[in-house]
Structure 1
Amino acid sequence: MGSLTEDNLRALAGARSYERGLGYLDAVSGVEVGDGRITATVHGTERYEAELTLEGPGGLAGMCDCPYGLEGNFCKHLVALGLTALAQRESLPRQRKAARERAQDLDGWLSALSKDELLALLREQIGEDRQLRRRLELRAASVRGDLATVRARIRDLLDIGPFAQYGYVEYADARAYADQAKQAVSAIAGLTGSGRAVEAITLAREAMRLLAEAVESVDDSDGRLGQIGAGLADAHLDACRAARPDPEELASWLVGHALGDIDDGLTGIDPLDYEDVLGKEGMAVLRESAVEAWRRNRTGWAEKYLMERLAKAGGDVDAVIAVQAADLAPNGHTHLVIARELDTARRSDEALSWAERGLRETRDLAAVDTALVDDLCERYARTDRLSDALTVRRDHFGARRSLRAYQQLRAAARAADCWPAERERALDLLRADAERRKAGWYDGPVLVDALLDDKDVDAAWQAATRTGAHDRQWLTLADQARAGRPADALAVYLRLAEPLAEQTGNSVYDQLVDILLSIRDCHRRLGTPDEFTAYVTALRTAQKRKRNLMRRMDEHGL
C-alpha cells in the first residue's frame, strides 16, 4: 500500500494526465480490492476497465484498456482509480485481507470437490454462459479433429456481422469482436496439439484470409486485430514445424503471402522464420520465386523488401545493391542506403563512389536527402578532403538557403580556415532573398536567423528593421539586445505583449508573463520602474477576470 500515494500517481501519469484524472473521480464505479490489485470500471468516452498493481516488481503500476492506456501509458482513468482508492485508504488493508481469505476459501472449496461435482458445476456454468459454452465446444472439436465443425466455427468467429452496423464495426464494438476472433487462434493451436497439424495449416491460412477481409470493416484503432494476426502466424508456423509440409508448396505460399496485398502486413509473417521447415530445397525455391517476382516488378515495395531480406540473410551484399540500384530515388536516398551497405561490408571506396554519385544524380539539389549530404561531407572530412566538403556545403546552401544549411557551411568553412570570405558570399545570397521575399516570408528571413546564430546582434537588428522579421525573431532580438539597447527591446516587448493580453489559455499566460518579466528588466535598466508599475496596474485592472493569469503574475511578483 505504501507505493500508492498521490506523488507516485502524479509521477507515473505526468502533470497533464494527473490533472485530467481529477475530473474523473465521479466516473469510477465497481471498485474491487484484491490482494495486490485494485480494479474498477471508469466511464470516459467509452467504458474502460482499469487495474492498479500495488506491489509489482517496479512498485505501483497500472493497466487500462483505453487507447492511451493500451499504448503503455499511465492514463487519467488510472489516476482516478488511484485517488478513489486513496480516499478509502484506512479500509484497504482490511479489504486486501478479506480478498486473500476469499481466494483461499474458493480454492479450498474447489479442491475438495469430486470430479462429478466439478463437472456438474462446469455444466451449470456452460448452461448460463453462452460464450463459455462455445469456447469449450470449439476446443472439444479441435481435440477430436472435427475439421468441418472447427472450420465452420472459425468462420463464425471471424464474421463481423453480429458486431457491425451498416457493414462496419465501430470502435465501441471492436474489442468484443477481437475477443471473439481470438478464439480462432486457440482452435487452430488445439488442432496442432491433438496431432492434426496438417489441418491446422489449412485453417490458419483460411483464417488469415478471413481476418484480412474483416479488418477493412473494423475500427482497429487499438491494434487488437494485428495481435490476432500475429497469433495466427505463430499458429501456422507451429503447425508447419509439426507437420513438415511439402517444402516447395510452402515456399510458394510464403512468397505469395509476402507479395500479396490481401494480408497487408497484418500477420507479419517472415519467410525466413520457416528456414528450418523449408530446408535447402525449400529455401532454393523461395529464393527463385522471390527473384522471379522481383524481376517482374523491380519497383514493388514488397518484392524489394523480400529480395533484400533474402540477400542479407545470405550475406550477398551485391544482390542487396542490385535490388536497391534498380529503383533509385531521385533525391539520393537510395544511393545513401547502398553506401551504408557497402560500409558494412568494409568496401569504403565503393561506398564513397555511390555517395558522390547520389549527389551528382540528384535532380534538384534543394530537395536532396540532407542525410546524403551529411554522409558525404563526413567521408571527405575523415580523409582530410576539407575543400571537397566545403564545395558540397556551398552548393547545398546555394540551393537550399536554410539556417541549418548556413550552419553546416560555416562549420565546413571554419574547418577549411576560410569562413570570413565564405560568410560574406552566403550573407549576400540571404540579403537578396530577404529583399526579394519581403512581403510574403512565412517565418521571417533566414538572414536574421543567420546573423543571430553568428551572435551579430546589431547586424541582425538592422536587417530586421530593413527587411522585416517574424515576431519569433523580434523576440529573440529583444532578448539578446536588451542589455545594450533596452529602449529598443522595450518597444518590441510592448508590441508583442499587446495581442497576448487579448488571448486566453495557460500557454498564452506563460508567454505573457515571460514578456512582462523582460519589460520589467528593461524599465529597471532605463531607470523608469514607476512606468512599469503603472503599466502592470493597468494590465491587472483590464485582465482581472483571468484568474490563472493573475496567479502566474503573483507568483513572479508582477
Structure 2
Amino acid sequence: MSLTTDLRPYLRSLDRETLAELVHQQAERDPELRQALEARAMAAPGDLAEAHRLLDAAVTGGNFEYATKVGSVLDTLQRLLDAGSRADLAPLARRTVDDIIAMLEQVDDASGMVADELDRGIELYARACAAHPPNPEELADWILAVEFDGLEIDLAEFAKALGDKGIQRIKSTVDKVLAKGEEDVRYRTASRLQEELAEISGDVDALVAILSAKPPRLDISLKIVRVLRGAGRHSEAIAHAARALTHDKGPARAPVVDELAETYQEAGQTDEALTLRHTEFERKPTLESYSALKEAATESGQWPAQRKAAMALLRERADSDVAVADELVRILLSEDRPDEAWRVSTRYGGSLELRLQLAELREVDHPVEVIPVYKIHVDELIAHKDPLCYREAAKQLRKLRTLHKRADVAEEFGSYLAELVETHKRKTRLIAEVRAARIAIPKVAKG
C-alpha cells in the first residue's frame, strides 16, 4: 500500500472494536492525539458519533434526503458551538463542508437546498476554527483551494483562526497569481482576495488604492467613500463622493448621495448636506428625496421655507408629469393630509392604484366622490379577461352597490349594472362571478 493511498475506506470497513483499539494504541504513543480525543470525549461524544454516521449515510439519498441529513449534522454543530463546547469541532465541520462541496459537483441542485447548507456549513466551520484554531497554513491552503475552485469564502470569518501565518500564506499566493497578469478566473479570484486581505488588515490606503484601480462604477465609489468615512477621513470621502456623483446621474447614485450627506453631517457641514438634499430633490422629486430633504432641513431649522419651495416645485411639475403628481400624492399621504391628496389626485390625475388607495380612505364620508374611481377599476379588471380579475370585479361591484345605497342613489347602480351586463353579456364567466357575489343580474335584451 503506497503512502498516498486514502485509508479512510479501509478504516470504515473495520468493526468498531478493532478501530477503537487501533486508535487507542496510537493515542498512547501520541500525546496530541490523546488530548484531542479527550476533548472530544468531554462534549457529547454520542452526538459527534451520530453526526459522522449521518454523513456516512447521506450520500446514499437524493438531494432532499441529503440536505436533511446534512442539516441534522449542522444542527448538532451549531448546538455544540452555541453551548460553548470544549471539544474541537473543526474536523467535523471541515468534513461536512467538504462532503457538501463534493455533493454539489455531482448533482443538479436546482432548488438550492444543498447550496444553502453549504453556506451554513462554512459559517459553522469558521466558528469552530475560531474556537479551536487548526494549523493556520493548512487552513489557508484549504481556503485557497476552495476559492480557486470557484467558491467564495468570506476571509473575515476565518481571520482569527488564520492569524498572521495563515493570512501571509494566502497573500503570498494571491501576489503570485496577480503578478502573472493573466486575466482569467484565477486572476479575478485573486483580485477579490487581495481586496479582502486589505480589509482584514485595516490598511485603508491599500484598500482605497485597490478599489480605485477598478473600472469606475458607483458601487465601487460607494465602497471607497464608506472606507474613508469609517476611517474618519471625511474630507477625502466627501471629495470622492462628489466626483462620483458628477459623472453619474442614474438611479444607482442614491446610496452615494446618502453616504455623502451623512458624511457632511458627521463633519459638521450641515449647510452642505442641506444643499445636496435640495439639489437631489429638484433633480428627481420623489417621496424618498422629499423625506431626505425634510430631515436635513429640520436639523438645520429651515424646514418651513424648504417645504414651501418643495411643494411649489411639485405642483408646477405635476401639471405636465403624471409621475410627479403621484409623488405629490404620496408625500401628502405621508404627512397625513388625505383630503389635500384627494384634491391633488382629482386635479392632476395619476395612477389608478393611488386613486383606489385614496378612495378607500374617503369612501365612508364621501361615497359619491369615490364611485367613479371604483367604476374605472371594474372596467380595468374586466379588460384583463382573466377569471381571477372577473372575481375581483364582482367584489368591487358589491362595494359599488353599497356605496350607491349609502349615497341614496341606489337606482343609479341598477342602471349602471344593466349597462355593464349588456356590454359584457357574452363573458359568461364574468356573469357567473357576479351571480356568485349575490348581485341580482338585470335581464339582458336579446340581440
TM-score (ref. length: structure 2) = 0.57
Matching residue within 239, 246, 253 for 1:369: 253
Asked if structure 1 preserves the Cα contact closer than 8 Å seen for 2:178 and 2:190, the reply is yes
Residue equivalent to 2:208? 321
Distance in 2 between residues matched to 1:430 and 1:408, nearest whole Å: 20
1:229–1:236 CA distance, 2 compared to 1 (3 A): same
Q: 1:323 is paired with a residue of what secondary structure?
A: helix
Please report how far the alpha carbon of residue 463 of structure 1 lies from its aligned counterpart in structure 2 after TM superposition: 1.5
Deviations 1:47-85 (A, max 9, x none): xxxxxxxxxxxxxxxxxxxxxxxxxxxxxxxxxxxxxxx
Matching residue within 458, 472, 483 for 2:343: 458
Matching residue within 193, 216, 227 for 1:306: 193
Structure 1 unmatched runs, 5+: 1-132, 146-156, 164-172, 186-199, 435-443, 554-558
Amino acid paired to 1:358: A
Matching residue within 208, 213, 220 for 2:105: 213
Matching residue within 406, 420, 425 for 2:313: 425
Residue equivalent to 1:396? 280
Distance in 2 between residues matched to 1:348 and 1:298, nearest whole Å: 36
Residue equivalent to 1:273? 158
Asked if structure 2 preserves the Cα contact closer than 8 Å seen for 1:393 and 1:408, the reply is yes
Amino acid paired to 2:277: R
Distance in 1 between residues matched to 2:97 and 2:366, nearest whole Å: 75
Please report how far the alpha carbon of residue 354 of structure 1 lies from its aligned counterpart in structure 2 after TM superposition: 3.6
Amino acid paired to 2:402: R
1:549–1:327 CA distance, 2 compared to 1 (3 A): farther
Q: 1:219 is paired with a residue of what secondary structure?
A: coil
1:335 aligns with 2:221: yes
Deviations 1:186-207 (A, max 9, x none): xxxxxxxxxxxxxx9x999996
Distance in 1 between residues matched to 2:326 and 2:156, nearest whole Å: 55
1:356 aligns with 2:235: no
Asked if structure 2 preserves the Cα contact closer than 8 Å seen for 1:457 and 1:480, the reply is no
Asked if structure 1 preserves the Cα contact closer than 8 Å seen for 2:378 and 2:397, the reply is yes
1:325–1:207 CA distance, 2 compared to 1 (3 A): same
Distance in 2 between residues matched to 1:308 and 1:478, nearest whole Å: 53
Asked if structure 1 preserves the Cα contact closer than 8 Å seen for 2:325 and 2:344, the reply is no
1:524 aligns with 2:406: yes
1:534–1:234 CA distance, 2 compared to 1 (3 A): closer
Amino acid paired to 2:105: E
Q: 1:369 is paired with a residue of what secondary structure?
A: helix
Please report how far the alpha carbon of residue 260 of structure 1 lies from its aligned counterpart in structure 2 after TM superposition: 0.8
Amino acid paired to 1:313: I
Please report how far the alpha carbon of residue 341 of structure 1 lies from its aligned counterpart in structure 2 after TM superposition: 3.0
Distance in 2 between residues matched to 1:233 and 1:497, nearest whole Å: 52
Larger strand fraction of residues:
1
Distance in 1 between residues matched to 2:11 and 2:390, nearest whole Å: 56
Amino acid paired to 1:307: Q
Residue equivalent to 2:63? 174
Matching residue within 423, 438, 447 for 2:325: 447
Deviations 1:296-337 (A, max 9, x none): 579976435433443343333333333333326522x33333
Asked if structure 2 preserves the Cα contact closer than 8 Å seen for 1:500 and 1:512, the reply is no
1:288 aligns with 2:176: no
Amino acid paired to 1:221: S
Matching residue within 375, 395, 404 for 1:494: 375
After superposing the two structures, state which structure 1 stretch, 472-481 or 293-302, moved more: 293-302
Please report how far the alpha carbon of residue 357 of structure 1 lies from its aligned counterpart in structure 2 after TM superposition: 3.5
Asked if structure 2 preserves the Cα contact closer than 8 Å seen for 1:181 and 1:228, the reply is no
Deviations 1:59-118 (A, max 9, x none): xxxxxxxxxxxxxxxxxxxxxxxxxxxxxxxxxxxxxxxxxxxxxxxxxxxxxxxxxxxx
Asked if structure 2 preserves the Cα contact closer than 8 Å seen for 1:449 and 1:473, the reply is no
Distance in 1 between residues matched to 2:327 and 2:303, nearest whole Å: 22
1:453–1:228 CA distance, 2 compared to 1 (3 A): closer
Asked if structure 2 preserves the Cα contact closer than 8 Å seen for 1:365 and 1:400, the reply is no
Residue equivalent to 2:53? none
Asked if structure 1 preserves the Cα contact closer than 8 Å seen for 2:265 and 2:273, the reply is yes
Asked if structure 2 preserves the Cα contact closer than 8 Å seen for 1:328 and 1:335, the reply is no
Q: 1:445 is paired with a residue of what secondary structure?
A: helix
Distance in 2 between residues matched to 1:282 and 1:345, nearest whole Å: 26
Q: CA RMSD in A?
A: 5.6
Distance in 2 between residues matched to 1:483 and 1:179, nearest whole Å: 53
Amino acid paired to 1:497: V
Please report how far the alpha carbon of residue 283 of structure 1 lies from its aligned counterpart in structure 2 after TM superposition: 3.6
Q: 2:305 is paired with a residue of what secondary structure?
A: coil
1:320–1:528 CA distance, 2 compared to 1 (3 A): same
1:405 aligns with 2:289: yes
Amino acid paired to 1:339: V
Matching residue within 424, 437, 443 for 1:550: 437
Distance in 2 between residues matched to 1:232 and 1:514, nearest whole Å: 52
1:371–1:273 CA distance, 2 compared to 1 (3 A): closer
Residue equivalent to 1:123? none
Please report how far the alpha carbon of residue 493 of structure 1 lies from its aligned counterpart in structure 2 after TM superposition: 1.8
Residue equivalent to 2:45? none
Residue equivalent to 2:29? none
Asked if structure 1 preserves the Cα contact closer than 8 Å seen for 2:367 and 2:406, the reply is no
Please report how far the alpha carbon of residue 523 of structure 1 lies from its aligned counterpart in structure 2 after TM superposition: 4.7
Asked if structure 2 preserves the Cα contact closer than 8 Å seen for 1:252 and 1:289, the reply is no
Please report how far the alpha carbon of residue 365 of structure 1 lies from its aligned counterpart in structure 2 after TM superposition: 1.3
Please report how far the alpha carbon of residue 222 of structure 1 lies from its aligned counterpart in structure 2 after TM superposition: 5.2
1:181–1:158 CA distance, 2 compared to 1 (3 A): farther
Asked if structure 1 preserves the Cα contact closer than 8 Å seen for 2:241 and 2:260, the reply is yes
1:390–1:494 CA distance, 2 compared to 1 (3 A): same
Structure 2 unmatched runs, 5+: 1-8, 24-55, 75-91, 333-339, 440-447
TM-score (ref. length: structure 1) = 0.48
Deviations 1:430-470 (A, max 9, x none): 434x3xxxxxxxxx633244146333433431222xxxx43
Distance in 2 between residues matched to 1:386 and 1:253, nearest whole Å: 50
Distance in 2 between residues matched to 1:242 and 1:449, nearest whole Å: 56
Asked if structure 2 preserves the Cα contact closer than 8 Å seen for 1:406 and 1:450, the reply is no
Larger helix fraction of residues:
2
Q: 2:437 is paired with a residue of what secondary structure?
A: helix
Amino acid paired to 2:345: A
